[in-house]
Structure 1
């Protein structure tokens, strides 16, 4: 079973109430090879919500209390992102997930590249909070831009 960001399968759970439907990922869902999650919803955040970015670090730093996830209005949403990552991990373990395909650049799901915390569209190296936790637990994490070469 593959864990997939729900927005990639067309679920309207993005911060702006939309989705990032990807036909190839949707095919995995229809073939019953995937379980969908939205870590931000699992963490208690509503849809729609104010955009968030990791400030002063990356997902690994957030998990070690060295960085925060802030919304664009300056509100600290760190605990929501940590809870969402923990709930996502519980689901992954329940289903025996070994691979995840998550939303690129997201403060939860970003894998390798995330936004830099300035809310200006700038990017930096790092993982989102959920991606960092899943990787720490030995789950292979990809995004919708690089999963094809790894998924059969």
Structure 2
């Protein structure tokens, strides 16, 4: 039986990214050979539409580029993702780097200028706080090495 892992749906080619596209990553898709993949999109779970205005975190809250406070939607999506991860007994997640939901270690700085700062997205932080190990798409090889 394969270990279940949570994976950002956009990395699997699902068109759930803020602009209606995806962040398809063949290395992430290839994880299905070793793991049972459970796709998630916390922003969709939180009721945000596709496409949607880009969002970033500033002062601990999530704002759209137009200034709308979307924190509650991001928190709701994070809670739903955590529920799925716990139900699946998933020890880890592969999440979209830099995202206001899924980024872990680095996120955009809230100015919509492309600058990144140290920090975690809303979902990534909640999962981490609940002892679920987080990997970005650039860390797939590290994940595979841990489970071999």
**TM class by smaller structure:** over 0.9
Q: Kindly state the Cα deviation for residue 26 of structure 1 after the two structures are TM-superposed.
A: 1.1
* Equivalent residue, structure 2, for 1:47: 50
For residues 70 and 130 of structure 1, what CA distance do their matches in structure 2 show? 15
- Which structure: greater helix fraction? 2
SS of structure 1 residue aligned to 2:93: strand
| Unaligned segments of structure 1, at least 5 residues | 57-66
Deviations 1:75-100 (A, max 9, x none): 00000000000000000011001010
- Return the TM-score normalized by structure 1: 0.90
* Equivalent residue, structure 2, for 1:133: 126
Q: 1:99 aligns with which of 89, 92, 95?
A: 92
Q: Is the 8 A contact 2:7 2:95 kept in 1?
A: yes
Q: Is the 8 A contact 1:113 1:123 kept in 2?
A: yes
Moved over 4 A (4+): none
| Unaligned segments of structure 2, at least 5 residues | none
Equivalence map 1:2-151=2 (5 Å): 2-29=5-32, 33-56=36-59, 67-151=60-144
Q: Is the 8 A contact 1:114 1:128 kept in 2?
A: yes
Q: Kindly state the Cα deviation for residue 150 of structure 1 after the two structures are TM-superposed.
A: 2.2
- Which structure: greater strand fraction? 2
SS of structure 1 residue aligned to 2:63: strand
For residues 29 and 150 of structure 1, what CA distance do their matches in structure 2 show? 13
Q: Is the 8 A contact 2:81 2:123 kept in 1?
A: yes
- Return the TM-score normalized by structure 2: 0.92
For residues 104 and 141 of structure 2, what CA distance do their matches in structure 1 show? 15
Q: CA RMSD in A?
A: 1.2
